[in-house]
Chain A
Amino acid sequence: MIHFVILMSRQGKVRLAKWYSTYNMKERARVVKEITPMILARPLKLCNFLDWKNIKLVYKRYASLYFVCGVDAGDNELITLEIIHEFVEVLDRYFQNVCELDLIFNFHKAYYILDELLVAGELQEPSKKAIHKHIHDQDELVEKAKNGTAEDGQAK
């Protein structure tokens, strides 16, 4: 299973962190602190896997962002890379050419998308199209509610 997903910039700034195993706040900070330099220090052409404690870090860099997953040592590293790629593709389509700034200002949306992709550290939806549909539907629900309350306000 995936224990955590962390998105970090090349400067080591965390842009998104999702924890599927139980880590308290202190442990979370420590994990980030320990893995950041390890990942950032690796030259590009090396493999995308790194042993760290009893888990394995699978990471990939997209433009200025590193996507890092901590998975069980026995997991399929290649398919984890594929999951990361799927996440990136969905983000890309949602934000239309996603860039780091999109994720900074809309971090909550990135989380919503991730929640449609992974639950309990496992992949829940292999179809990008389905994810889009669900995100889109929920966004619409929110819009509708917003307009609704706005109208209500006007009515009063």
Chain B
Amino acid sequence: MSIRLRDLIKAVRACKTAAEEREVIAKESAALREAFREQDQSYRHRNVAKLMYIHMLGYHTHFGQMETLKLIAGSGFPEKRMGYLGLMILLDERQEVLMLVTNSLKMDLNNQKNGYIVGLALVALGNICSTEMARDLAPDVEKLMDPASPPYIRKKAALCAIRVVKKVPELLDQFVTKAADLLNDRNQAVVLCGVTLMLQILELDGTLVDKYRPTVPSLCRILRSLLQSGVSPEHDIGGITNPFLQVKLLRLLRLLGRGHAESSDAMSDILAQVASNIEANRNAGNAILYECVQTIMGIESIGGLRVLAINILGRFLSNKDNNIRYVALNTLAKVVSVDTQAVQRHRATIVECVKDADVSIRRRALELVYSLVNEGNIRTLTKELLDYLAVSDTEFKPDLTAKICMLIQRFAPDRRWYLDQLLAVMIQAGAYVKDEVARTMLVHLTSTPDLQAYATRAFYRALVSNVDGAAPTLLRAAVWVIGEYGEMLLPSMGGPLLEGEAPMAVSDAEVVSLLETVLRRHRSEPVAVEHVLTAAMKLTARLPAQVARLKTLIARFTTSAQLEGQTRSCEYGKIFGHERIRPQLLERMPALDEAEYLRTNNLEGPPSAPGSAAPSSGGARRANGASSGGALVTAANTAASASAATKAHTGSDLIAGLDVLGVGGGGGVPAASKTLVDDLHQLDALLDGVPAAAPLAAAVAPAPPVVTDDLLNLLDVGLGPSPAAATPTPIADPMASILGGTLTPMAAPAAAVAPPVPLVATATAASPSAPTIVAWQQHGLIVTFTLVKHPANPACTDILAITTNNNPTDITDFTMQVAVPKFMQIKLEPASGSLLTARGGAVTQKMVINNTQHGVKPLVMRLRIIFNSASGQSVEELAEVANFPPGF
């Protein structure tokens, strides 16, 4: 027996647990299914009502969808009323069942006897109409907008048309004039719906504005009539006649007046009247004023009118009601592009709103502040915002921090201020400062020598005052700066203090102590450790008296469990063995190309300050890169100086392009960049005539595989007779790939290389380098092997064999065969050719060797080389290659 809807609701409400409720619903659903199966007609509409209730509780009701259609297809009004309601609640427009209702809708739209049935159909169509239905029923809807229909139908048809044109914009044309016709209706509801439809049409097709402009006078007339109080008590809300219609009219006027002086002029009187006559003591009045202000600011209005509007906003802003302040901020945000001056007047109030208790208001205010800031007020506004940052809610801090950083970067009046403010942000909310911000700052610092000492002192102070709590961003930046410019902390080295700076007496021992403290407190953060190690290494060249202590500090990590830290510790330890080149290896970072950095990273930077180096001026700023380039030029005498210059340029660009060394990038990036610089210096040293330095370079310089390879090629250029072999491009490419890949490519080879064998012994092998060996050299031919370990499998080695002919004559029919012991597998690819042209002609051949006894037995192989010499004589040579570096 079916129960009443009321009883079902009561039963559900009586349930004490969710399980109980589920049981009641399951029982009722079963009963409903039964009823539906039996085609029970008398209770069908009660059953659908129950279904809706069950649906509202969140249970499945698919099984009853067809019942709503049956109700709609019925003839009685009660059934249809319930049926259409069920249709709107139980279905959404994407369900296919909906297709079945189109016919019933058409019938009902054309029902001549009962207007309310037409109304039901229109409401349903307006709320859930699908594209297909819109196409099928648009003519009927259009017809119902005719004056012949009663107002009750006309208004519903107009709104229904909104849904129809939204679904099928092609149908727009039919409704354009129909909508405008509704403006002349005597019923205010119909006018309201007509205006709403016009707004929708304009939203879909802005070009129709011209078509609707002639309606401006009648729109003004309607608005004027509404302003007279007491015209229509039925529509009165707190002394204001039909605020809904007034708001829509003002909105439509805005669209019609925008960018059109004539219409704007025609509506200015009525806008002034609205702005000055509407009482602002009720919500309805404020709603109209709010819309009116937007219209005044949105059209081509005269100055006086604008002043009126801005004054209203000023009143809104000082209102106690949060809603009103919210809309004021919202409007100001829209107006700020039109009239910045007017908005600036309210700056103090707006900044106050940033501190409001209400998150909606804070957000608006912050956005507004953001668009208000300029070079003139950045100092005061940033101070306000920083003050607020200290006390703001945690959830709001990320937003606020990002905005402040962006403002500082965009509007900083000078570099010192820029540094000061960013540092302040990092101290207060370092956790929310993005890495890019800190990196950009350091890029700028490298190119602003006058501020380096100042910045180092500032960072030192910041770090000392809070070693424990320093956010990672601050920590990394500070450690990096101390590593780079550490000696400037000493009063004797740092130059004069800047104006207003507190004097500071720091000894070199204290600097090292600070690094030690950082290590102690942040031992568990690999990135911090890595930064400290690099900084410590750099400081060995800056603070000679502390070398011993720094060395101990670095050596402590040779047994660290953090791979990257350990690698660095081992590598840096090795550098102490080469005292001659150590100072050069650890030279300061070259000034980085700011413009390039900002461009490639799509960032904003501060304007370059007077006195500091201009962003794109090259030259002296690249002192470091240029000097290595210069060395190249002198050493490679054979190379044309022009091409060498290009190379030098590329070299320094590489460094500059490097994603700023350092900070933040975590693991590998600092090492990569540093090593590159190191490599260039190595190169210097080598070219200056350190004999047989190639293995040393391979062992010491912990460069990423490809880079060393190319650098060594460069080396070949210097020594070999053919400078053309190494063009700048191959240098640039591997670097680019390393940069592009940030730290992952670095980490991978490092991880792959370190085997579980005694640590110090593997220190050299652990360097993720691509060593090159000379495998064979005779008859004016040189065979070199470039070895690259497989990142995933250390037992596997890729070998690139390059055979170069240094004879004055061609070599023909060159072949090379390779044999390996049984415990190795070899895959030899075909050579790139068999002809070696005179003076520098080369053939390359790739092979992959898998040493199954990796770590036990080293690589070894035998070569058989056959070729025809210039005299046509066939030569066959056998050679054993056993000089593979340890670890292969």
Contacts and interface: CB of A to CB of B under 8 A. Distances in A.
Contact of B247 (A79, A124, A146): A79
Contacts of A125: 155, 189
A142 interface: yes
B287 A76 contact: yes
A137 interface: yes
A51 B244 contact: no
A127 B58 CA distance: 34
A129 interface: yes
Interface stretch (B318-326, B568-576, B866-874): B318-326
Given A18-B88, A120-B160, A127-B235, 17 more contacts: A18-B127, A19-B92, A22-B93, A24-B94, A29-B58, A77-B330, A79-B243, A82-B244, A108-B82, A111-B89, A115-B123, A120-B159, A125-B189, A126-B188, A137-B116, A138-B116, A142-B77
A82 B196 contact: no
B253 interface: no
Interface string A27-61: 00100000000000000011111110000000000
A53 to B, nearest CB: 14
B162 A79 contact: no
A141 interface: yes
B192 A123 contact: yes
A46 B322 contact: yes
A126 B93 contact: no
Contacts of B247: 76, 79
Contacts of B337: none
A25 B323 CA distance: 32
A39 B615 CA distance: 50
B724 interface: no
Contacts of B251: 76
A17 interface: yes
B360 A46 contact: yes
Contacts, number: 153
Contact of A23 (B53, B92, B116, B290): B92
Nearest to B162: A120
A112 B116 CA distance: 12
B13 interface: yes
A127 B243 CA distance: 11
Contacts of B81: 112, 138, 142
Contact of A124 (B156, B242, B286): B156
Nearest to B325: A47
A99 interface: no
Contacts of B237: 82
B92 A49 contact: no
B471 to A, nearest CB: 28
B287 A82 contact: yes
B76 A112 contact: no
Contacts of A51: 360, 363
B120 to A, nearest CB: 8
A123 B127 contact: no
Given A50-B360, A77-B323, A107-B53, A126 B152 contact: no
Contact of B360 (A16, A49, A123): A49
Find the residue from A115, A128, A130 having the highest chain B CB count within 10 A. Answer: A115
A98 interface: no
Nearest to B294: A76
B227 interface: no
B290 A127 contact: no
Contacts of A25: 92
Interface in B53-87: 53, 56, 58, 76-78, 81-82, 85
Interface string B119-134: 1001100110000000
8 contacts: A22-B92, A46-B322, A76-B251, A111-B85, A120-B126, A122-B193, A124-B189, A142-B81
Contacts of A78: 283-284, 286-287, 290, 323, 327
B85 A126 contact: no
Nearest to A109: B85
A19 B360 CA distance: 24
Contacts of B284: 78-79, 82
Given A124-B189, A126-B242, A127-B234, A81 B291 contact: no
Contacts of A142: 77-78, 81
B156 A145 contact: no
A100 to B, nearest CB: 11
Interface string B821-852: 00000000000000000000000000000000
Find the residue from A22, A111, A126, A138 having the highest chain B CB count within 10 A. Answer: A126
Interface string A1-27: 100000000000011111110111100
Nearest to B357: A46
A141 B188 CA distance: 26
Contacts of B242: 126
Interface string B191-227: 0110010000000000000000000000000000000
B701 interface: no
Nearest to B42: A149
Nearest to A14: B56
B531 interface: no
B9 interface: yes
B794 to A, nearest CB: 49
A119 B126 contact: yes
B6 interface: yes
Contacts of B283: 78, 81-82, 85
A93 interface: no
A49 B326 contact: yes
Contacts of B78: 141-142, 145-146
B622 interface: no
